[in-house]
């Protein structure tokens, strides 16, 4: 779930109405006083609607970010949401409800109040208790799985970035593919000009290399160019490259930064907070 979705819920709680770009208008008529869940919601499907400007201002104020960046990120977010809905998935707005496409392609809304209706009085208490027990077990198992995954990722990160005895070198393998990159650092070791195979390049944790902090992947070339140009106007060393999957061309958008190996997690967290995006890391390929 994207962090924008939670902020949309907060906005609806305060303002009761919001327009989501090319999706529709949501009106929350009332909320439960116990859990702040919307109990009465109206949804109007509208493929021509634009996002409420007040929502952009609200998120910019809450996050302390530039309004132009927030507007661009919201545009990208709702574009991905529509793609998600159009392939048959449901888009969730926390405590409000779900938006999905019907067989005619129109968007429909299912509020939380409909999903969480109490059981009919004809259901026996023993059956209701069994359902609650099953639900608790599922939630516990899901929680344990999430904890296990996070623990595994944390351990891998610790092993990668902890200082090894006797200054054991960290080896990073570069792809020999020529990339469409802005601002490559010529101080990085390069393989011999005639080499066509992948060559290992060894660095210690105190070495600095060019790192691509990838914050978005999109199938839109226009989006890649405009977003990159926008970030460059704000003084960021932004760029993008492309790759093909299942005959479809995709673009990785990134910020290129010379970073000490030991500082990559700190820089990653900083860029993630700045862009309100999850960040992936990739070492800049060496050009020949």
Query: What percent of the chain stands above pLDDT 70?
Result: 76
Delimit the CATH 3.30.70.1070 region(s) of the chain. 165-283
Identify whether the C-beta of residue 39 lies closer than 8 Å to the C-beta of residue 95: no
Convert the pLDDT of each residue in 80-107 to its tens digit: 999 999 999 999 999 899 999 999 999 9
CA distances 270 to 57, 106, 273, 276, Å, are 22, 39, 5, 10
CA distances 109 to 43, 201, 279, Å, are 6, 53, 31
Helices (runs of H) and strands (runs of E) counted in the chain: 7, 12
pTM of the model: 0.44
Distance CA(188)–CA(181), nearest Å, equals 14
pLDDT for residue 189: 39
Convert the pLDDT of each residue in 34-60 to its tens digit: 667 777 889 999 999 999 999 999 999
Q: Round the average pLDDT of the chain to a whole number and report it.
A: 81
pLDDT for residue 37: 79
pLDDT for residue 55: 94
Is 116 a residue whose pLDDT tops 90?
A: no
Convert the pLDDT of each residue in 233-251 to its tens digit: 989 999 999 999 999 999 9
Q: Tell me the CATH number for domain 165-283.
A: 3.30.70.1070
Is 268 a residue whose pLDDT tops 60?
A: yes
Identify whether the C-beta of residue 39 lies closer than 8 Å to the C-beta of residue 113: yes
């Amino acid at each position: 779930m994207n962090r924008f979705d939670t902020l949309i819920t907060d906005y609806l709680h305060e303002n009761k109405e919001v327009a989501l770009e090319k999706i529709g208008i949501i009106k929350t008529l009332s909320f439960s006083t116990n859990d702040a869940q919307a109990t009465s919601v109206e949804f109007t499907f509208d493929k021509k609607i634009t996002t409420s400007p007040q929502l952009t201002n609200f998120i910019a104020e809450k996050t302390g970010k530039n309004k132009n960046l927030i507007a661009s990120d919201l545009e990208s977010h709702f574009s991905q949401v529509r793609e998600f809905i159009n392939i048959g998935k449901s888009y969730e707005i926390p405590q409000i409800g779900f938006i999905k496409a019907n067989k005619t392609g129109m968007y429909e809304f299912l509020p939380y109040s409909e999903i969480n209706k109490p059981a009919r009085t004809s259901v026996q208490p023993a059956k209701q208790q069994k359902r609650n027990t099953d639900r608790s077990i599922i939630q516990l198992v899901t929680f344990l799985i999430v904890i296990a995954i996070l623990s595994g990722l944390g351990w891998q990160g610790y092993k990668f970035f902890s200082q090894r005895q006797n200054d054991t070198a960290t080896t990073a393998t570069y792809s020999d593919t020529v990339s469409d990159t802005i601002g490559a650092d010529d101080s990085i070791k390069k393989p011999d000009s005639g080499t066509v195979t992948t060559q290992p390049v060894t660095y210690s944790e105190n070495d600095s290399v060019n790192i691509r902090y990838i914050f978005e992947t999109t199938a839109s070339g226009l989006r890649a160019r405009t977003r990159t140009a926008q970030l460059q106007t704000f003084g960021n060393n932004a760029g993008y490259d492309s790759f093909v999957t299942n005959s479809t061309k995709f673009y990785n958008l990134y910020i290129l930064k010379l970073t000490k190996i030991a500082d990559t997690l700190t820089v990653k967290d900083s860029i993630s907070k700045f862009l309100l995006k999850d960040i992936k890391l990739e070492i800049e390929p060496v050009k020949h």
